[in-house]
Structures are given as C-alpha cells and as structure tokens.
C-alpha cells in the first residue's frame, strides 16, 4: 500500500500542465494524460506541529478507470512532476507538494514527522528556479518496510477509523480529503453541472459503502 505525504508550499507552481482532480468522501481520482488513477484512503493523519499544513495518508490504488461514489468536488490544477526513484515519487499539485512512496511507511508519531522531513529534503535536492540546491542525504527505504513498486499489498478489509489526530486513531477520511482539496488551490475551480462530471474515460462506481461527507 502506498503512503502519501503532502505539505503546503510557498513555491509557485510554474507548470503549464493541468490535471483534473476528483475528490470523494474517502477517495480521490486524478485524470492525467488521458489516464484515470484512483486511490481509496485507508488511514489519514494530520502531522503534529505543522498547523494542518502537512498530512500523511495510507492509500489503496484502485483498478484502472475506477471511481468511488459520492463525488464531492472537482478541480483543475497545475501539475508538475519533480523526481522519482526506487523509493517513491515527488510531484507538485497546485499549492501542495506530494511524496508518494512505493511501499507503506509505518505511522507512529515520531516516524511520520521524520519521514515528512526526509521527503521535503529529498524533494528539494533538485535546483529550484533560483538555481540553488540543497545538499541532503538521499532517501533510504525503511529497513523493516522495503518498497515494493511492482507488488504493493492490498488488504481485503480496509478500515475507516473515526477518532481524530493521533496516528493510532486517525480521523475519518472525508474530513481531511476535503480539507486537502480546499487547500490545494483553485485556479480553475469547476462548479455547477460540471462539478459532477466524471472523467471522459469509461468508469465504474465502487461497490464500497461510502458515506457522503459533511
């Protein structure tokens, strides 16, 4: 199962490429280059000490052209691919940076803070628009949780915890997924009838029971 770390960035997104981002109560889907990729949230944690501007997720990648039920919001946002290696991928989506690992990362309080800082430093190892470069130690896969890019695990019974903030009691997915989307940036916020328009490729509704977010 991939782990995702997102954090707010003050660096403007210079990309001319846009993706369409669909947000559901406990899922999200991205339309990029004619391909739809969907993920279901299994666990979400607001990382302490960052004023709700850093969040980690454990997600399950869904089959091609899948989309969950109860679509909440759709946005079209600038997308920038930054870098990738055997450990994961770093991208900028709107006003947020996102690191997605190939394997699951343990979600203890100390570990998520440490992994967030590693992700931020690793993302900054490319020259920015001012020509500077941060000299940091490359990311190394967690010894007890090596990445599995080709064979991620898929639990048959994903959980949907409901207790907020603490890693052992993460909040319900609908709250943070909406919080993330509202902060992602709205250069082309799609509203009205288009807000519920599904991706142009053929999609199937999930059979999972998903409650609409507040």
Q: If you compute the radius of gyration of the chain from its CA atoms, what whole number of angstroms results? A: 17
3-state secondary structure (DSSP) of residue 132: coil
- Give the integer Cα–Cα distance in Å for 181 and 21: 9
Output the pLDDT for position 41: 93
In the structure, what pLDDT confidence band is assigned to residue 208 with cuts at 50, 70 and 90? very low
- Give the integer Cα–Cα distance in Å for 150 and 154: 12
pLDDT at 7 over 60: yes
- Give the integer Cα–Cα distance in Å for 38 and 172: 18
| 185 touches 96 (CB < 8 A) | yes
As given in the structure block, the two tokens for residue 139 are 């990311």
Q: In DSSP terms, which residues pair with 37 in a beta bridge? A: 30
Higher-pLDDT residue of 54 and 126 is 54
pTM of the model: 0.61
- Give the integer Cα–Cα distance in Å for 182 and 170: 20
In the structure, what pLDDT confidence band is assigned to residue 48 with cuts at 50, 70 and 90? confident
**The most confident of 3-7, 68-72, 108-112, 163-167, by mean pLDDT:** 3-7
pLDDT above 90 coverage of the chain, percent: 37
Higher-pLDDT residue of 180 and 104 is 104
Lowest mean pLDDT among 3-17, 43-57, 103-117, 118-132: 118-132
Q: Which residues contact 214 (CB under 8 A, 6 or more apart)?
A: 174, 175
- Give the integer Cα–Cα distance in Å for 26 and 134: 35
pLDDT above 70 coverage of the chain, percent: 58
Q: Which residues contact 34 (CB under 8 A, 6 or more apart)?
A: 201
- Give the integer Cα–Cα distance in Å for 153 and 137: 28
Q: What is the tens place of the pLDDT at every residue in 52-64?
A: 889 999 999 999 8
Output the pLDDT for position 90: 95
| 51 touches 39 (CB < 8 A) | no
How do the domains of the chain map onto residue ranges? 3-190
Q: What is the tens place of the pLDDT at every residue in 128-149?
A: 433 333 333 444 444 444 444 4
């Amino acid at each position: 199962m991939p782990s995702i770390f997102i954090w707010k960035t003050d660096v403007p997104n210079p990309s001319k490429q846009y993706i369409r981002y669909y947000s559901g109560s406990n899922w999200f889907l991205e339309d990029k280059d004619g391909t739809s990729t969907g993920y279901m949230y299994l666990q979400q944690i607001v990382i302490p000490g960052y004023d709700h501007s850093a969040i980690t997720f454990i997600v399950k990648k869904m089959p091609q052209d899948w989309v969950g039920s109860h679509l909440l919001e759709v946005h079209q946002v600038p997308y920038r691919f930054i870098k990738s290696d055997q450990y994961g991928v770093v991208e900028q989506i709107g006003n947020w940076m996102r690191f997605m690992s190939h394997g699951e990362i343990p979600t203890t309080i100390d570990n998520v803070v440490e992994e967030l800082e590693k992700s931020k430093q690793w993302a900054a190892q490319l020259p920015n628009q001012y020509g500077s470069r941060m000299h940091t130690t490359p990311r190394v896969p967690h010894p007890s949780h090596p990445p599995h890019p080709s064979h991620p695990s898929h639990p048959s019974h994903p959980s949907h915890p409901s207790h907020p903030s603490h890693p052992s009691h993460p909040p319900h997915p609908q709250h943070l997924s909406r919080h993330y989307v509202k902060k992602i940036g709205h250069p082309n916020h799609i509203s009205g009838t288009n807000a519920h328009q599904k991706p142009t490729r053929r999609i199937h509704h999930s059979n999972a029971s998903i409650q609409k977010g507040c």
